[in-house]
Amino acid sequence: MKIPNILLIYTGGTIGMIKDPETGALRSFDFDSLLDKIPELKLLACSIETISFDKPIDSSNMKPAYWIKIAEIIDKNYNSSDGFVVLHGSDTMSYTASALSFMLENLAKPVIFTGSQLPIGDLRTDAKENLITSIQIASLQEKEQPVIKEVCLYFEYKLYRGNRTTKINAEHFEAFASLNYPDLVESGVHLKVNKEYLLKPKAGASLKLHKTLNNNIAVIKLFPGISKNVLNSIFSTPSLQGVILETYGAGNTTSETWFINTLKESINKGIHIINITQCSGGSVIMGQYETSTQLKEIGVISGKDMTTEAAIAKLMHLLSKNLSTKQFKEHFESSICGEIS
Ligand code: ASP
C-alpha cells in the first residue's frame, strides 16, 4: 500500500523560534534546524516533504498576500501531496485558516494548521505533540482517500474546523476554541474522529483557487459610549465597501436614532454591514430583541454564529465577486465551507 505524502509548509511562528541571546526576544530561525529538532518525524507512516517561506514571519505580520502564497503552494502541490500541514504562528492562525477555507473551493484533502505556545527547542514545548499529531491526522486514509477534506486547526489534542476557531488564550497550551462547532478529532490514546461533523465536499469537483481578496473593510466593536464622530469617520472612509459590526449578545446595538441613521445611510451608499456577536459563542438573531429589529429592517446582514475571523475572510472573499446587494446578502448568510450553522 502506498504511504501518504504530506507537505509541511513552514510560515513562521513560535514553533520555529529561538531566543536571541542578546535581547531575549523570540525570532524565527531556519526551517532545516526545525526538522533536526524532531527526529521522531522519521517514525511516522508517511513521507514528508517540506517547503518554507524564504523569510518566516511572526504571524502578527500576516496579510492577504501571504494567504495567497500559502494557497498557491497548496494548489501547486495538490496532485502530488495527500495532505498539507501548515506551521503558523498562533496569533493569527484562525484568520489564515478561515481565509484558506474560502480560497480553496472543492478542497478534498486535509489542510491542517498548527503551531505552538512554546518553541520546539524548549524543554516543556507543546510543539512536538501538535506537529506529530497534525501529520498523523493529515495522513489518515480510508479506502485510499483522505479522511479529512477541509481546512482545520490542530492544537492541544483537538482538531477543529479552521473557520470556527478563535484564539482564546495567550499562555495556556489550550489556546484555541471552537465554541459553535464540535471538535472534529480528539487525540487521546487513540485518535477519535467525529465523522458526522466532517465536511463532505462535492464529489468529483476539482480544486478551484480564489486569489482575489478585497480588504476595503473595517471591523467596529461596539461599546457603551461609542461616539458619533468616530462612527461617522469610519463610515466615511474612501473606498470602504464592507463593515463587520461586533454587536452585543444576540446581535443587539444601541437603538439611538443617530446610530441607526448612520448605518442606514451607509447601506444605501452600497456598504455591506455584517452583524457579528462580540460573544465567543452563540448566534446573532436579529429581531429577537427590539434593539436589533431596526437593524434587520435597514438591511444589516446577519453573520449568525460565524466568528469575526471567518466573517473578515468571507467579506474579503465575497467583495471580490461583484455580487448584487441581494446576492451578497444571500451568499453571506449561507454556508460556503461550514463556517456558519
Ligand atoms: N507571535 C507568535 C506568532 O503568532 C505567537 C505564536 O506563534 O504562537 O507568530
Beta-bridge partner residues of 141: 146
| Ligand 1 binding pocket mutation candidate from 53, 58, 62, 94 (most atoms within 8 A of CB) | 58
pLDDT in tens, 63-81: 999 999 999 999 999 999 9
Reply yes or no on whether the pLDDT at 34 is more than 70: no
Between vectors from CA 63 to CA 59 and to CA 66, what angle results, nearest 5°? 85
Residue 111 DSSP SS3: strand
The number of angstroms, rounded, from the C-alpha of 185 to the middle of its chain's C-alpha atoms is 17
Query: Residues with catalytic annotation?
Result: 14
Beta-bridge partner residues of 187: 191
Residue type, 258: W
What distance in angstroms lies between residue 207's CA and the mean position of ligand 1's atoms?
A: 29
- Return the C-alpha cell found at 302: 446577519
The Cα–Cα gap between 174 and 262 comes to 40
What distance in angstroms lies between residue 326's CA and the mean position of ligand 1's atoms?
A: 39
pLDDT at 41: 85
Task: Identify the CA nearest to 88 among candidates 182, 40, 151.
Answer: 151
pLDDT in tens, 253-278: 999 999 999 999 999 999 999 999 99
pLDDT in tens, 219-232: 999 999 999 999 99
Reply yes or no on whether the pLDDT at 331 is more than 90: yes
pLDDT in tens, 75-129: 999 999 999 999 999 999 999 999 999 999 999 999 999 999 898 878 898 999 9
Identify the band that residue 33 occupies on the pLDDT scale cut at 50, 70 and 90: low
What distance in angstroms lies between residue 10's CA and the mean position of ligand 1's atoms?
A: 13
Q: How far is CA 64 from CA 30, 71, 313, in A?
A: 23, 10, 9
Q: What percent of the chain lies above the pLDDT cut of 90?
A: 81
Atom of ligand 1 nearest to the CA of 175: 8
pLDDT at 21: 75
Which residue puts its alpha carbon closest to atom 3 of ligand 1?
89
